[in-house]
Structure 1
Amino acid sequence: MPLYNEIALVFHSSFTVFFYALIGGLIPSLIWLWFWLHEDNKHSEPRHIILLIFLLGMAGAFISLFFQHVFNWYFNWYTIDITHYKTVNLIFVIIEEVVKFACAYVVFFRTRLFDEPIDAFLYL
């Protein structure tokens, strides 16, 4: 099944599931953002940079979806035994976190904005 069909299936199969997944991913992120914005008082980051970080994180999730789809195709994990799902999920989590780290590293970690150790928590 092509990747765009899988994405369309997620959006159209059950709006309730999509809504809960969106809320479950958005609310903890906003709480985390609020916490770190109040912790970073010495050299706070510009608001437009914070927005860009969040947008890159969302883009990183979709980029990792592509790589996960490639791994599914290459290893034919659609037909694996139920006992291998933990391994598959672990690999997918690693893919997503590496892609999001790469986005943050390329854009922010090599700039003057990364001036405090606490900024690493905000950017990631």
Structure 2
Amino acid sequence: MLSYSVIFLFSILPGLLWVWFFSAKDVHREPPAMLMKTFVAGMVSVLPAAFLEIPLRPYLTDNSGLSSSLIFALFAIGLVEEGVKLGAAYLAALRTSWCDEPVDAVIYAVTAALGFATAENAVYILAYGTEVALIRAVLTNIAHASFAGIYGVAAGLIKIYKLSPAAIWPSFAGAVLLHATYDLFVVLQLVPPFIAVLLVYAIYRYVINKLHELQDAG
């Protein structure tokens, strides 16, 4: 059984460092208490995600091939995980007065996603040991943050242009599809691993570029 210090070192600490990395890009830094609240909300959101994924578990163990994997990736991984991450960000921060600038929406969406990734990483490290720690500390964290950043950017644009809150849903759908695609690439090894890494990097660059644009617009 791994000690609490090992779990902290290999899962929680990397998640918090990524929160610091993204939040440092905001000229008007968000209150640490709000960031921590959102981070913890993201961690807690793994519980409803696990519950909602239960009906879809048979597709994970089904041997019928690509179709079952596609259903699981799209609904259990993409829709459920992005859904609870968005819900955590909204309940903890997006609906509050602290989210008062366009860039704030990205910071809080990413922070909730990193909380989710941190809890997920802790579970994987408990199950598989520290051998998976490095790749999850880097790639898994940045992937979850980047997917959430897509609809975080949309939420920021909604603030700028005074759009309907419903305008977030196309970007949310895009995040779901990209998350599902990434999962299929990794789990089924449909492409060489570097393709999955390039996909995450491309989304990450998009989010960072848009974050700077929102910073300037705000």
TM-score, normalised by the number of residues in structure 1: 0.66
Tell me if structure 1 keeps the 8 A contact 2:41–2:92: no
Mapped to 2, the partners of 1:100 and 1:67 lie a distance apart of 13
Q: Larger relative contact order (C-alpha < 8 A, sep ≥ 6)? A: 1
In structure 2, list runs of 5 or more residues that go unmatched: 110-218
The aligned counterpart of 2:24 is 38
Tell me if structure 1 keeps the 8 A contact 2:53–2:76: yes
**Structural mapping, 1:90-101, within 5 Å:** 90-93=74-77, 94-101=79-86
**Structural mapping, 1:1-124, within 5 Å:** 23=10, 27=14, 29-42=15-28, 44-72=29-57, 76-77=58-59, 78-83=61-66, 84-93=68-77, 94-124=79-109
- 3-state DSSP of counterpart to 1:112: coil
Shift of residue 33, structure 1, vs aligned partner: 1.2
The alignment of Structure 1 onto Structure 2 pairs a total of residues equal to 102
TM-score, normalised by the number of residues in structure 2: 0.40
Identity %: 27
Mapped to 1, the partners of 2:103 and 2:10 lie a distance apart of 26
Q: 1:96 to 1:115 in 2, by over 3 A?
A: same
